[in-house]
Chains A and B, each alone.
Chain A
Amino acid sequence: MAVTPAEGIPKSDSASLPVVILAGNPNSGKTTVFNALTGLHYKVANYPGVTVERKESELTLGEQRVKLVDLPGIYHFGGHSLDEQIATAALLGTVKGASHPNLVVCVLDASNLERNLYLASQLIDAQIPLILALNMIDLAERHGVSVKVELLSRKLGIAVIPLCAAQGKGMRELGDAILKALAEKPVAPRTGAWIPESCCYHKVAMQQGSAYRLKHNYQGPVSDLLLGSSILSASLTDHRGQLRAADEACVKELAQDGIDPLSFEATERYRWINKLIKETTSKQDTAAKRRSDRLDAIITHKFWGTLVFAVIMFTIFQAIFLWSSYPTDLIDRMVQLIGNWVGGLMSDGILKSLLVDGVIAGVGSVLVFIPQIAVLFFFLGILEDSGYLSRAAFLMDRIMRKFGLQGRAFIPLLSSFACAIPGIMSTRTIPSFSDRLATILIAPLMSCSARLPVYTLLIAAFIPSQMLWGIVSLQGVVLLSMYVLGVAAAAVISWILKKTLLRGEPTIFVMEMPVFRRPALIAVMRDVWDRIVLFIRSAGTVILAISLLLWFLATFPRGDVEHTFAGRIGQILEPVIQPLGYNWEIGVGLLASFAAREVFVSSLSTVYNVQDNDSGYHSLLEVLQNKHAAGSFTLATALSLMVFYVFACQCMSTLAVCRRETGSWKWPLVMFTYMTTLAYICAFITYRLALNFWG
């Protein structure tokens, strides 16, 4: 998979600032270092043309302004996933339009130095100005690993800074070291004295004097492993012929010596690392290490691990529904107060109707759901940061494989419960394209937070709030079953996809399981905040716009609701949706929510408020409960509607992200078609069944 060269990063005053890149293995705590350096002041953007996330911040170190960039974590140069390719390209300055780094800070997990040094050794051989940050040094010490930092620094010939970024320890020293290194441009002596002259890509690259600047479309031949050269080779399109000749000569030479070229680089690098580790670190067993290992053994145990997993998942769903209900009620009441207050200030008329029924009712009923989103993202953040998610992937792999997926798909799919967009974007960590595509296509079947408003509203209005066996909320059970329904359908669909459209190369599931650690709460909270801001922003723009449009459609031409534009569209739709148990008002809501699901709640509230002749804001919940009591909105309709929302692909953003991630309109079209068909059929079945049982 070739990387599209990124075009046109906007130039600004900041273009002249020195660029410092944070590189490191996944789980090295790189992002924590980034947060500690920037004090959580950063911008999140994508690399232009691709959706690999790029966190960037400008900060002042001493007198010097610098631009700090956080890369996706990688284990080595090159690789198959887009994340790996972009990160490698950024390190080598081959991302078009982006300046090459003035300095790379390689963050290493001190408790796992041996493997973390692999990337560092490749960075050293690429001869980029470099310093090393030994993160989680306290955890390493507790686990009995002690590093002779000064000796390591002397051996390598570059600065090595011990850190504990989560507690802010060593950050000052790191800042000073960055400043010093920007001035001195320290380049460590190459590790690769073992590389035969003939296969030295560097030599070719250096001769041309522009190793960092070349395009990287080179499809590396057999030995692109040599010399960490996966990227160097990839960045040397212009020298393809030369490289291939050098490469063949090299492979031949190695073969003559009985050396397998594929394992050559890795073996030699680890030999170099081994020697370095022996000289500079010592290990001993500690109680903390034994405790952590024992905990890990339980968490990944066949039986106990599965039990813990189930309990964690169940807790999250109960928490979303029960714990967040208090702040939700509070916001709900405040929105009502504001609606009444504004309504009281104004005389009846178009403007009042616009404000109270359009703006406040529309946006207000979306804001109400912030607590649930916050709770969900909080749990996801904790699970990810503590290292639990990879354990979950380990536990789930065999089951996921039954449906043609893999354990790694679990994380994107779990994220999709919050929102399919980050979920789909995080599928980049899945190296196999067909696995990735299958995961993308079923991700929107995971009930996202935008469906929560619909579920919670309908559940609160139609499902009695009673306890089963005294401890389990019936409403919680119904909510959980909506999630289970989506998951079950996803399993079937992905199994079918992998048997038909997406038969592909077998997956690789070689996955690190990081040491359990206490999650960095501040970083998790910052992430929760980022998500809330994003949600409010979309509530404030897209949803407000649609609310206003709907208010317009539902208000004009003035008179009976049936004769407004909305009423007419709803009536045209009615024959199509009647078999599902929906009237034209619901039709209006469905139509609106094809832009974004959460709009359903606001549009329904707009439609119903406008219908009501009383002035003031009416809680949609109350309106629905009244209609339920009056029999004009039945339980069967509510259930059918929830099932429709489980399956329907009513999110333009998801389709847009799918288009961007898959590179064609084919896949979003497949997604939209299969989901809408599924939604219609299943809602129909649900309605008929519900009518039979309770109707």
Chain B
Amino acid sequence: MSPTHKERTTLGSIKAGSVVEVMSVSTVNRRLCNKLLTMGIVAGTIIDVLSVAPLGDPIKIKAKGYHLSLRIAEAEHVHVRPVAQPEHRAA
């Protein structure tokens, strides 16, 4: 289960329809980090990338059972790894 380094990527580059697991949130931008964490984007959270707004940004995701929108630039602060879909559906 432990991800290889290659598998790690950011939420900003995930296509709509994919499911990922949060590995960590970058602490470079403290305010953003704080916001993401308190909204439930913490290590271990499963994220469904639902859709993309008209001009390709922001994106809409589902995490902890609710919908959240964030900009691509913000999503790039969230390190994620892909999750096999059936595993998530069961969860």
Contact = CB atoms under 8 A, between A and B. Distances in A.
B83 interface: no
A511 B70 contact: yes
Contacts of A80: 31
A684 interface: no
A305 B55 CA distance: 12
A510 B27 contact: no
B9 interface: no
A431 B53 CA distance: 22
B54 A302 contact: yes
A112 B58 contact: no
Contacts of B69: 390, 393-394, 397, 407, 509-511, 513
A76 B33 CA distance: 14
Contact of A513 (B30, B56, B67): B67
B10 to A, nearest CB: 15
A554 to B, nearest CB: 52
Interface stretch (A263-271, A480-488, A672-680): A263-271
B24 interface: yes
Contacts of A431: 31
Chain B interface, >50% SS class: mixed
9 contacts: A115-B39, A263-B37, A267-B43, A283-B65, A397-B69, A399-B55, A511-B70, A513-B60, A513-B66
Contacts of A300: 50-51, 53, 60
Interface string A384-411: 0000001001110111000000010000
A263 B25 contact: yes
Contacts of A521: none
A622 interface: no
B35 interface: yes
Interface of B: 24-25, 27, 30-40, 42-45, 50-58, 60, 64-71, 73-74
Given A262-B33, A263-B43, A508-B32, A513 B68 contact: yes
A398 B56 contact: yes
Contact of A114 (B24, B58, B65, B74): B65
Given A115-B40, A300-B53, A512 B66 contact: yes
A395 B55 CA distance: 9
Given A114-B40, A266-B42, A510 B68 contact: yes
B67 to A, nearest CB: 4
Given A305-B54, A398-B58, A270 B68 contact: no
Contacts of A511: 68-70
Contacts of B44: 270
Contacts of B32: 508, 510
Nearest to B70: A510
Contact of B33 (A75, A263, A301, A514): A263
Nearest to A516: B67
Given A266-B42, A267-B37, A510-B74, A306 B54 contact: yes
A296 interface: yes
B53 A225 contact: no
A604 to B, nearest CB: 43
A260 interface: yes
Residue from A113, A266, A303, A407 having most chain B Cβ neighbours under 10 A? A266
Contacts of A267: 37, 42-43
B27 A302 contact: no
Contacts of B57: 397-398
Given A265-B37, A296-B67, A302-B53, 6 more contacts: A115-B66, A145-B65, A262-B37, A398-B57, A399-B54, A509-B58
Residue from B45, B52, B53, B60 having most chain A Cβ neighbours under 10 A? B53
Nearest to B71: A509
B68 A225 contact: no
Residue from B37, B51, B70, B73 having most chain A Cβ neighbours under 10 A? B37
A321 interface: no
A192 to B, nearest CB: 15
A398 B54 contact: yes
Contacts of A266: 37-38, 42
A297 interface: yes
A115 to B, nearest CB: 5
Contact of A118 (B30, B40, B51): B40
A409 to B, nearest CB: 14
B91 to A, nearest CB: 9
Contacts of B34: 225, 262
Contacts of A283: 65
A506 B38 CA distance: 19
A512 B68 contact: yes
A297 B54 contact: no
